[in-house]
């Protein structure tokens, strides 16, 4: 039984990786053929002024390297899920146990992944057409709407209205406030997607996070969720293979919005519903996303109230670049910290 469960996890990861690697030449050709990159280099800070330090470090790579590399991730996941589902129908006696599309575990995270991917792709499309992408307000509203629908599903259909906390014996009942709490978590994770800024960084960080939740779901006997997380890891590793410097393409919105919305749903599916603490360990496992958001918030507060920058550039990984760290050193040290945080978070989840 343990061997079959292990195959259910590792096979989707392997398939997604192989499919992603096989897809990449076609996706890459299409992105380069259609010049799927920003027509004009340069970034503007939150206060509307040119981000001079960021532009000094990255302006040369902003044109000529396509966006929308996240297609490799979500397409490989969907093709893996579809292939295993088809095999389970064609030969149920041999492959039924491998299918991981299920109403009670993976419909909602897969739906969130797809919707996030489509909205993110629209933003990338507007960006490469010189329209500046979707406005931040529009993207935040989109995240809120998707999160509201998912929260309603949890609250009304799954009858989940509480959240578990580490070292507390009983879950904390939120009642109807569960819905805005769910939306707040989704927005916080989406804010962390600004970690997509150095070749290889976001792919490695998200791989570690989803691998952790694959482990949590596995030990909760939620095999379909574990398989989905594993497939996402496989897709991310395929993306990372081509995103290691010099990157062939960037994850961008179609990747990060899809991943953060799916991660939100998965974190809640591994929480109170099955007696887990998926939400409590989220800030630990996703520590690097938390640090990324906090560094940006602190930078804005420092500039607004004290008239000076706290960091040479925010978020924090770009600050290290500005200090002279080579990009590969920043990325590898982030990977190391991410693995350590994931081990701690996974250990806490299994207590």
Domain coordinates in residue numbering, the chain: 2-349
Q: With residue 144 as reference, give the H or E element that holds it.
A: helix 136-152
pLDDT of residue 58: 60
What is the DSSP pairing of strand 162-163 with strand 172-173? Answer: antiparallel
Distance of CA 141 to the CA centre of its chain: 18
pLDDT in tens for each of the 351 residues of the chain? 678 889 999 999 999 999 999 999 999 999 999 999 988 765 655 555 556 566 666 665 667 899 999 999 999 999 999 999 999 999 998 899 999 999 999 999 999 999 999 999 999 999 999 888 899 999 999 999 999 999 999 999 999 999 999 988 899 999 999 999 999 999 999 999 999 889 999 999 999 999 999 999 999 999 999 999 999 999 999 999 999 888 999 999 999 999 999 999 999 999 999 999 999 999 999 999 999 999 999 999 999 998 899 999 889 999 999 999 999 999 999 999 999 999 999 999 998
pLDDT of residue 125: 95
Residue 243 CA to residue 70 CA, distance in Å, equals 11
Residue 44: DSSP 8-state: B
Q: Which alpha helices (H) appear in 172-244, and where do they start and end?
A: 178-191, 201-219, 223-243
Residue 235 exposed, middle or buried by CB count within 10 Å (0-12, 13-18, 19+): buried
189's tokens: 């994770």
The 3-state DSSP class for residue 235 equals helix
Measured N-to-C along each axis, helices 201-219 and 252-269 cross at an angle, to the nearest 10 degrees, of 20
pLDDT of residue 172: 95
187's tokens: 């927005």
Q: What are phi and psi of 42, to 5 degrees?
A: 115, 140
pLDDT of residue 139: 97
pTM for the model stands at 0.95
The 3-state DSSP class for residue 247 equals coil
Provide the sign of the torsion angle of the four alpha carbons 127, 34, 73, 319, taken in this order: negative
Residue 351: DSSP 8-state: -
Residue 192 CA to residue 179 CA, distance in Å, equals 20
The 3-state DSSP class for residue 162 equals strand
Residue position matching structure tokens 């930078």 = 299
Question: Mind spelling out the 3-state secondary structure of 203-218?
Answer: HHHHHHHHHHHHHHHH
Residue 281 CA to residue 273 CA, distance in Å, equals 15
């Amino acid at each position: 039984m343990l061997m079959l469960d292990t195959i259910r996890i590792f096979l989707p990861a392997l398939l997604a990786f192989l499919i992603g690697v096989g897809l990449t030449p076609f996706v890459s050709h299409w992105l380069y053929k259609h010049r799927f990159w920003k027509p004009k280099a340069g970034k503007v800070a939150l206060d509307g002024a040119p981000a001079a330090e960021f532009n000094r470090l990255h302006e040369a790579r902003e044109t000529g390297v396509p966006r929308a590399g996240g297609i490799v991730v979500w397409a490989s996941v969907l093709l893996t899920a579809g292939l295993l589902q088809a095999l389970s129908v064609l030969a149920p006696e041999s492959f039924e146990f491998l299918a991981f599309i299920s109403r009670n575990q993976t419909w909602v995270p897969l739906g969130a992944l797809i919707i996030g991917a489509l909205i993110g792709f629209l933003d990338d499309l507007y960006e490469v057409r010189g329209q500046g992408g979707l406005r931040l307000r529009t993207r935040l509203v989109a995240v809120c709407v998707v999160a509201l629908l998912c929260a309603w599903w949890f609250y009304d259909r799954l009858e989940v209205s509480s959240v578990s906390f580490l070292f507390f014996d009983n879950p904390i009942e939120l009642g109807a406030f569960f819905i805005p709490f769910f939306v707040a978590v989704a927005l916080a994770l989406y804010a962390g997607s600004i970690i997509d800024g150095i070749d290889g960084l976001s792919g490695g960080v998200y791989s570690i996070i989803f691998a952790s939740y694959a482990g949590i779901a596995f030990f909760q006997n939620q095999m379909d969720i574990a398989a989905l997380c594993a497939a996402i890891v496989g897709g991310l590793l395929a993306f990372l293979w081509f995103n290691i410097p010099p990157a062939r393409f960037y994850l961008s919105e179609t990747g990060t919005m899809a991943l953060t919305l799916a991660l939100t749903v998965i974190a809640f599916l591994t929480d109170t519903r099955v007696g887990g603490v998926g939400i409590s360990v989220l800030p630990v496992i996703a520590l690097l996303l938390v640090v990324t958001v906090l560094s940006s918030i602190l930078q804005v507060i420092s500039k607004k109230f004290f008239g000076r920058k706290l960091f040479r550039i925010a978020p924090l990984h770009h600050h290290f670049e500005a200090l002279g760290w080579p990009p590969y050193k920043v990325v590898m040290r982030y990977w190391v910290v991410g693995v350590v945080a994931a081990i701690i978070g996974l250990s806490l989840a299994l207590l």
